[in-house]
A and B are shown apart, each in its own frame.
Chain A
Amino acid sequence: MSRYRIAVHIVPRRGILDPQGKTVADALHTLGFGSVRDVHVGRHIVVDLEARDQKAAEQSTRDMCERLLANPVTEDFEIASVEAT
């Protein structure tokens, strides 16, 4: 077994009202970042786990996202990085 550190991004699904993202975008506009078109605020989760290989580690993390880490009704997730540790 090897050890992996996997980071996951979870964001509100496009099309679902994201008042937090909108508030942050408004604040950025106030600060003068007029080029900002859209902001979405989500979660960044880092999981340390043991797995046979990288493929198994990623599959296991995807299962975690589908069952607990992300809400399939309102959120999308993606694996942001995988690192052997």
Chain B
Amino acid sequence: MKFGIVTFPGSNCDYDAYQAVVEKLGEDATFLWHKDHDLHESDVIVLPGGFSYGDYLRAGAIARFSPVMQDVIGFAKRGGPVLAICNGFQIACEAGLLPGALLRNTSLKFVCETVRLRIETTDTMFTNRYERGAVLRVPIAHGDGRYTADDATLDKLEGEGRVVFRYLGGPGDADEWWSPNGSMRSIAGIVNDAGNVLGMMPHPERAVDPLLGSEDGLGIFESMLARVTA
């Protein structure tokens, strides 16, 4: 199985994603250049984290119009799996692949820490290797991660089981839903209507080895492998 990892000017997690796929998952990965119209026959596309186009105008607003994204959008519309992490999530929202938007953190600060995430559904191609309600430790690192959508959209996401991860616990009260960035309803990750595009602010590719402090993120890659090669 081949993962195509898009490199935009300003991407900085493309190599992390590459290492996670090649070294930990043992599958093929290739970098896709933002100026090309070529997905190299990838089975899965990863939109990695970073600061594409310097976050000018709005995070993800300009990357969404880059040449390779027109192919990625076509790939996603045909049902191809897309894993959109951090800046990738912002780009996917701007591109209309996912509903809502990611705004400046409520604290106005960049947050960089390990958070706890709860798996809200295992009925997706990205989480089938986990148990429902499982809690993962995964890092976040972003300034614009406040998931925002209107109430009707949020109700629809919840009603259709498309909220995949929620931030869990927080300083002072471990049982309360909490978000480190002010996300509505503590949403950390969602899937699109068809279930083939996952957007998430946390970085599973940075949690794939005990040396990194956690290997809880590897299950997302394993879940995709299990589903795509099935």
Q: Which residues of A contact B (CB under 8 A)?
A: 12, 16-17, 19-20, 23, 43, 68-69, 71, 73-74
Q: Are A17's CB and B108's CB within 8 A?
A: no
Query: In B42-91, which residues have CB < 8 Å from any A CB?
Result: 57-58, 61-62, 65
Contact among A19, A68, A71, A73 with B106 in the assembled complex (CB-CB below 8 Å)? A19
Q: Within the complex, what minimum Cβ distance (angstroms) separates A14 from chain B?
A: 13
B103 interface contact, C-beta 8 A: yes
Contact call A17/B182, Cβ cutoff below 8 A: yes
Hey, which bits of chain B sit against chain A, CB under 8 A?
Answer: 57-58, 61-62, 65, 93-94, 99-101, 103-108, 146, 148-149, 182
**Bound CA span A68–B94, Å:** 9
A43 CA to B149 CA, complexed, in Å: 21
Given contacts A16-B148, A20-B108, A73-B93, list 9 more A-B pairs with CB under 8 A.
Answer: A17-B103, A17-B146, A68-B62, A68-B65, A71-B58, A73-B101, A73-B148, A74-B103, A74-B148
Chain B at the A interface: SS class: loop
Q: How far is the CA of A17 from the CA of B61 in the complex (A)?
A: 20
Q: In whole angstroms, what is the CA distance A43 to B146 when docked?
A: 19
Give chain B nearest CB distance to A22 CB in angstroms: 9
A19-B182 in contact given A68-B57, A71-B58, A74-B103 (Cβ < 8 Å): yes
18 A-B pairs in the complex with CB atoms less than 8 angstroms apart: A12-B103, A16-B103, A16-B148, A17-B106, A17-B148, A17-B182, A19-B106, A19-B107, A19-B182, A20-B104, A43-B57, A68-B61, A68-B62, A71-B61, A71-B101, A73-B93, A73-B99, A74-B101
Name B93's closest neighbour in chain A (CB-CB): A73
Chain A neighbourhood of B101, CB < 8 A: 71, 73-74
Taking a contact as CB atoms under 8 Å apart, the answer to whether B94 and A71 are in contact is yes
Complex contacts, A16 vs chain B, CB 8 Å: 103, 148
Docked Cα-Cα span, A73 to B99, in Å, equals 9
